[in-house]
Amino acid sequence: MPETWRRCSACKEPIALGADYYVCSVSTCQRKRTGLAFCSVSCWEVHLPGANHREAWALERVAPKTKREADAEAASGSGSGGGGGGGGGGSRRRIVRPEPVQRKIKAPEPEMPREVLIVASRLKDYIRARSTYNTSENVLDPLSDIIREICDEAITNARREGRRTVLDRDIPRRT
């Protein structure tokens, strides 16, 4: 019978040295103090109702192959595998990312409301402070069109990098 590395956190069955086991993807479940390790995905699922995770999955790991490796792991404090290479040599981590979608952004749909995107009072205050000039209401529509073009380009840049959040670096620099 193979030597026991640890016991499953759910069913308390032994996890043998060198055997596959599972940890929760949530960092609080991987802390040294918590140290959850599960012998199967079904045992991992048992802890979900009480854990209140928003999003979690089971990460497959490999237990240390020898008692010496297990002791060294315990002494170093890496526990059941924090982010990267924990888990004793044969750790496997799967990172799932959606593939970036490469599509052309179409012009706004005709039925889409063409609302003004500029705060009129702020724009008028700025122009008056810079030049003491007045500002016509007709300036707001062309400025809103320019803002839409810049936003569409920023959306394209974020999409190209595989993100669903537009960041400041996505805004094209105009000189």
| pLDDT at 22 exceeding the cut of 50 | yes
**Lowest-confidence range among 32-36, 109-113, 118-122, 127-131?**
109-113
Please compute, for residue 73, the number of CA atoms within 13 A of its CA located in the half-sphere on the CB side. 25
* Euclidean distance between the first and the last CA atom of the chain, given in angstroms as a whole number: 73
Please compute, for residue 154, the number of CA atoms within 13 A of its CA located in the half-sphere on the CB side. 16
- The CA distances from residue 132 to 95, 123, 126, 142, 175, in Å, are 57, 12, 9, 21, 24
Residue 19 tokens, joined: 């055997």
Would you place residue 85 in the very low, low, confident or very high pLDDT band (cuts 50, 70, 90)? very low
- Considering the chain, what is the average pLDDT of its residues? 81
107 contact partners, CB below 8 Å, separation of at least 6: none
**Lowest-confidence range among 5-19, 39-53, 79-93?**
79-93
| pLDDT at 11 exceeding the cut of 90 | yes
Strand partners, 16: 4
pTM, rounded to two decimals: 0.43
